[in-house]
Amino acid sequence: MLDINLFREKRGGNPEIIRESQRRRFKNVDLVDQVIQLDEDWRQRKFELDHLRKDLNSIHKRVAQLRIAGGDATELINSTEENRRLAAEKEAEVGEALELLNTKLEEIGNIVHDSVPVSDDEVNNAVIRSWGEKRLQEPTLKNHVELVKLAEIAEFARGAEVAGSRGFYLKHVGMLLDRALTHFAVDFLVERGYEGLRPLPFMTKDMMAKCAQLQEFDEELYSVGEDKYLIATSEQPLCAYHAGEWIHPSQLPMRYVGLSDCFRKEAGSHGRDTLGLFRTHVFTKVEQFCITSPEGNDSWDRHEEMIKNSEDFYKALNLPYRVVGIVSGALNGAAANKYDLEGWFPASQTYRELVSCSNCTDYQSRKLEIRYGEQGKSDDQLQTKQYVHLLNSTLTAITRTICCIVENYQREDGVEIPKALQNYMGGKTFLPFKSKQAPEVKQKN
C-alpha cells in the first residue's frame, strides 16, 4: 500500500501525484479524496481517544494524591469508571475508522513511474528492443499444441479425465524437458549470485492478503480449506519471507531464485491461449526476486539487471524475443513499472508473453512491515519510516517455455533440443515425432 503521509499535505505529502497516477492507471481518482477524508476522520477519533486517556491518567494521579492525604476519592473513582467506558467506546471507533481507511487505501495502486507509456490498451505497449532471427511463415509449420502431441511431450485426454479442464500429464520426454529447463534455470541464476529458495505451495489467508492483489483472490487463487491459499507464483511466499523484519543496508541487495509449482484458476482467461501447455492451471516456475535499498536508483538499476537476466536466459536458448514496456492501464496494483519479455511463436507469427518483470518499490514491503535501516534507532533519528523495495521477475514458466521451444526448434520429423539443455537431457539432441497427426480436439476452458 502507499504511505498515508503522501495524502497529507500538512505533512509534506502531495495528493495530486496520487491523483495523476490514478488517471494514468485509468482508475477512480475520487478514491484519493475518500482516503483523505477517512484519514481525517480516523485522526480526529484518535485525538479524542488520546484526550480521554490523558484525562484518565490525570484522574488516577488525583486519586492517588487524595488517598495519600487521607481524603475521600469515591467521586473521582466513579468518574474513572465512566471515563474508562467512554475510552473503550472511542477505542472501538478508532479501530473501525482505521480498518475503513486501510481498506480504501489498498484500492489505490502504486505510483506509476514516469517512464511507463500511458494507455489503457496493451496494443500500445512500447517495444523497447528485440533479439534473434525470427522464423518466418512456412507451409509445414505446426503450432505448439500439435507439436507436444506429435512428440508425445504431454497427454491431454487422460489428464482432463483425471484433473478436469486443462489437465495434462507430462510424458517421459516432457518430464525430462521440464526437469532440464528447471535445472538449467536455477543453475543460471545461482551462477549470477542468486540464493535458492523453495517455498511451500500454500500460504495462510492473512499472509496471502498482504502479498496478493484483491482481484487475484477471485480470478487466480485456489483456496485450501478456510484459512489457506495455494500460491499463484513463488513471488508471494518470497515477498513474505522477511515479513516483520528490519534489513540493514549492509545486507542489500538480496537476490533470490524461487522454484515452485504455481496454481491458477485463470478465471478471466477464457479463449486466451488456453489450448495445450501454454496457459494451464498448474505449472512450474523459476522466479527472480530481489530486495533493494529505497535509496537513489538502486531498485531501478536492479530492475534493469533482472530483465537482462531473463534476456540472457532466452538468448542462451536461442529463442527470438522482444522486450515491451507495459502500458499504465495494464499494470497490476503493486507495480510502479513492468516489462514483459515476449517470445516469438512462428506458427502464428506472433509474440507471446514469457516473462513479467516488475518493480513494486515499497508498495508490498510497507504492508509486510519489511523495514529498511537499523532496528533500535528512533523515528527522530530516521526522520521517517523507510521500507525496502521489492522486485520480481519470471525467469521461466516451464511449460510455456516448452511451447516456445517446440515451435522454434521444429523439423518435419521432430523437435531439436536447444544446445543449452542437451547436457541436462543426458546428451539427447532430438525428440522424434511418435504420434500420427490427428484432427485437433479443443480442450475445455
CB 146 within 8 A of CB 155: no
From 332, 246, 242, select the one nearest 289 (Cα to Cα).
242
**What fold does the segment set 4-105 form as a domain?**
Helix Hairpins (1.10.287)
Distance CA 220, CA 212 (A): 10
Q: What is the 3-state secondary structure (H, E, C) of 98-133?
A: HHHHHHHHCCCCCCCCCCCCCCCCHHHCEEEEEECC
Annotated binding residues for ATP, written as ranges, equal: 264-266, 353-356
What's residue 441's pLDDT? 42
- Give CA separation, 67 vs 55, 58, 59, 427, in Å: 18, 14, 12, 91
- Strands 321-325, 350-359: pairing kind: unpaired
Our separate counts of H helices and E strands in the chain read 14, 18
What's residue 384's pLDDT? 74
What's residue 445's pLDDT? 46
Distance CA 203, CA 53 (A): 39
**Mind listing the pLDDT tens digit of every residue in the chain (445 residues)?**
999 999 999 989 999 999 999 999 999 999 999 999 999 999 999 999 988 888 777 766 766 666 666 666 666 666 677 778 888 898 999 999 999 999 999 999 999 999 999 999 999 999 999 999 999 988 889 999 999 999 999 999 999 999 998 899 999 999 999 999 999 999 999 999 999 999 999 999 999 999 987 667 777 899 998 899 999 999 999 999 999 999 999 999 999 999 999 999 976 555 557 788 999 999 999 999 999 999 999 999 999 999 999 999 999 999 999 999 999 999 999 999 999 999 999 999 999 999 999 999 999 999 999 999 988 765 555 557 899 999 999 999 999 999 999 999 999 999 999 999 999 999 999 999 986 654 444 444 4
From 330, 302, 319, select the one nearest 391 (Cα to Cα).
302
What's residue 438's pLDDT? 46
CB 246 within 8 A of CB 373: yes
The rounded radius of gyration (Å) of the Cα atoms in the chain is: 27
From 221, 23, 245, select the one nearest 112 (Cα to Cα).
23
CATH match of 122-432 with 3.40.50.2300: no
Strand partners, 341: 323, 355
Distance CA 80, CA 62 (A): 11
What's residue 261's pLDDT? 97
- Strands 282-292, 254-263: pairing kind: antiparallel
- The residue extents of the domains of the chain are 4-105, 122-432
Same fold yes or no, 4-105 and 122-432: no
Evaluate if pTM is beyond 0.75. Answer: yes
What's residue 407's pLDDT? 97
What's residue 87's pLDDT? 84
For the stretch 268-274, contacts whose Cβ atoms lie closer than 8 Å and that sit 24 or more positions apart, written own/partner, are 268/219, 269/445, 270/445, 271/445, 273/352, 274/166, 274/443, 274/445
Annotated binding residues for L-serine, written as ranges, equal: 233, 264, 287, 392
Annotated binding residues, written as ranges, equal: 233, 264-266, 287, 353-356, 392
